A and B are shown apart, each in its own frame.
Chain A
Amino acid sequence: MAAPTKAPSTGHPNPTTHLVDPVAVAIRTRTPEDPAAIGRFAATDPAPGLDIARLPRVARVLRDRRFQFLLILPNQIVFWLVIGIGVLGTAVPGLNFATAITWYLWFALVFVMMVVVGRAWCAMCPFGGFGEWVQRHAFWRRKGTSIGLGLKMPEGVAQYGFLLSVASFLLLTWIEEFFNIAGPGNPMSTSFMVLGIVGTALLFFLLFERRTFCRYVCPLSALIGSVGAMGSVAGFRTRDRETCLACTTKDCMRGDADGYGCPWYTWPGSSDSNAACGLCSECYKACPSDNVGLFLQKPLTSVVAPTRRRADVAWSVALLFGLVVYQQFNALAPFANLDSWLNAHTHFPQYPNPIDYLGIIVAVALVMAGVGQVFTRAFAHADRVPTSGGRTFVDRVSPFRTYFLPLMYGIIPVVGADYFARQLPKFFQHVTRVPVSVGHLFGVGSTSSALYKASVIGSNGGIIAVQVGVMAVGTLAAMWTSWRVAGRDLVPVSRHGRGVQVAAVSLAALLGAATIVLYVLMNAAD
Chain B
Amino acid sequence: MTAIETRPTASTERHVTVLVDRCAGCQECVIRCPAGALSMEPVTWTALADDALCVGCRQCERTCPFNAIQVEGPLAVAERHDPPLHHPVQLRGDVSETRRGFASWDEAVAEASRCLTCPDPTCMRGCPAHNDIPQFVKAVAERDLERAHAILRRTSVMPDVCSRVCNQAAQCEGSCTWSLAGGVPVAIGRLERFIADQVPVPPPAVRSGDSEPMSVGIIGSGPAGAGAAWDLVEAGVQVTVYEKDATPGGLPVWGMPDFTLPDAVARRPWEQLVEAGVDLRCSTPIPAESIDHLLTVHDAVIVAAGASVPIRLSVPGSDLEGVTDATAFLQGAKDALGPGGDADGFLAQMGCPTERGTRILVLGAGNTAMDVARLARRLGLEATCVDWLDERFALARPDELQEARDEGVEVRFSRTLTSLAGEGRVARATLAHTTQASRGETPKVSTTQFDEVEVALVVMAMGYRIDADLRTALPATPVAKKHTGYAPGRWTASGILHNPASSFNHGYPVGTMALDREVGLWASTLPQRSRVWVAGDALTGPSTVVEAMAQGRRAARAVLDAHPARPDRGAAFRAQHETRVLVVYASEGGTTAKLAEAVGDELRVQGALVTVAPVDRVGPRQLAAADALVVGTWVEGLVVTRVHPAAAMRQWIEALPTLGERPVATFVTYGVNPRGALDELGAALTAKGGVVVAEETFGPRERATETRIRPSKPEAFAHRVAARVLRTLATAVA
What residues of chain A have their CB less than 8 Å away from a CB belonging to chain B? 1-14, 17-33, 35, 38, 40-41, 56, 60, 144, 152, 155, 158-161, 245, 248-251, 253-258, 261-262, 265-267, 269-270, 272, 288, 307-308, 312, 391-392, 394-395
Contacts and interface: CB of A to CB of B under 8 A. Distances in A.
Contact of A23 (B68, B125, B589): B125
A25 to B, nearest CB: 7
Contacts of B554: 19
A235 B39 CA distance: 27
A31 B17 contact: no
Contact of A38 (B42, B119, B624): B42
Contacts of A27: 119-121, 490
A13 B625 contact: yes
Nearest to B610: A13
Contacts of B101: none
Contacts of A272: 45
A180 to B, nearest CB: 36
Contact of A288 (B22, B235, B489): B489
Interface residues of B, number: 86
Contacts of A8: 611-614, 617-618, 622
B654 to A, nearest CB: 10
Nearest to A209: B67
Contact of A3 (B486, B609, B657): B486
Contact of A5 (B22, B490, B615): B490
B490 A26 contact: no
Given A26-B132, A26-B135, A307 B617 contact: no
Contact of B31 (A29, A35, A60, A258): A29
Given A17-B625, A26-B124, A29-B32, A253 B19 contact: no
B120 A17 contact: no
B625 A18 contact: no
A266 B45 CA distance: 12
Nearest to A3: B488
Given A3-B488, A27-B119, A254-B492, A152 B67 contact: yes
Contacts of B614: 8-9
A250 B121 contact: no
A56 B560 CA distance: 42
The list of the 10 closest CB pairs from A to B, nearest first, reads: A249-B489, A8-B613, A253-B65, A4-B619, A267-B24, A18-B557, A270-B25, A22-B130, A29-B31, A26-B132
Interface string B8-44: 0000000001111110111110111100100111111
Contacts of A249: 488-490, 492-493
9 contacts: A5-B619, A22-B130, A26-B130, A33-B39, A41-B45, A249-B490, A267-B25, A272-B45, A395-B46
A4 B620 contact: yes
A43 B24 CA distance: 18
A250 B492 CA distance: 10
A487 to B, nearest CB: 18
B455 to A, nearest CB: 47
Nearest to B130: A22
Nearest to A397: B43
Interface string B600-617: 000000000111111111
B154 interface: yes
A270 B24 contact: yes
B193 interface: no
Contacts of A258: 616
Given A17-B561, A19-B558, A30-B31, A1 B619 contact: yes
Given A257-B616, A308-B43, A392-B20, 8 more contacts: A9-B613, A14-B609, A19-B621, A26-B124, A27-B119, A253-B65, A391-B18, A394-B44
A319 B623 CA distance: 59
A19 B522 CA distance: 10
A423 to B, nearest CB: 30
Contacts of A22: 124, 129-132, 154-155
A256 B231 CA distance: 35
A362 B25 CA distance: 33
A35 B485 contact: no
B20 A250 contact: no
A19 B44 contact: no
B611 A10 contact: yes
A10 B612 CA distance: 7
Nearest to B67: A152
B485 to A, nearest CB: 6
Given A23-B490, A265-B22, A33 B125 contact: no
A314 B397 CA distance: 59
A19 B625 contact: yes
Contacts of B525: 19
A98 to B, nearest CB: 36
Contacts of A245: 27
A144 B483 CA distance: 14
A3 B619 contact: yes
Interface string B674-695: 0000000000000000000000
Contacts of A56: 589-590
B655 interface: yes
A229 B250 CA distance: 70
A373 to B, nearest CB: 22
A410 B721 CA distance: 65
Contact of B24 (A25, A253, A256, A307): A253
Nearest to B581: A13
B580 interface: yes
B105 interface: no
A208 to B, nearest CB: 12
A149 B163 CA distance: 42
Nearest to A159: B21
B484 interface: yes
A269 B40 CA distance: 14
Contacts of A17: 561, 625
A10 B131 CA distance: 28
B395 interface: no
A253 B66 contact: yes
B671 to A, nearest CB: 15
Contact of A1 (B20, B25, B31, B656): B656
Contacts of A267: 24-26, 65
A257 B33 CA distance: 27
A38 B45 CA distance: 11
B21 A32 contact: no
Contacts of B269: none
User: Which of B611, B620, B652 counts the most chain A CB atoms within 10 A?
Assistant: B611
B632 interface: no
Contact of A250 (B17, B28, B656): B28
A209 B24 CA distance: 16
A27 to B, nearest CB: 5
Given A5-B488, A30-B119, A270-B26, A158 B19 contact: yes
A7 B489 CA distance: 12
B31 A6 contact: no
Contacts of A25: 132, 154
B134 interface: yes
A307 B490 contact: no
Nearest to B483: A1
B560 A248 contact: no
A248 B484 CA distance: 22
Nearest to A271: B24
Nearest to B492: A254
Interface in B655-678: 655-657
A4 B621 contact: yes
Contact of B235 (A3, A18, A26): A18
Nearest to A142: B486
Contacts of A152: 22, 67
Interface string B346-372: 000000000000000000000000000
B584 to A, nearest CB: 9
Contacts of B580: 13-14
A314 B482 CA distance: 51
Contact of A251 (B21, B489, B588, B656): B489
A99 B619 CA distance: 55
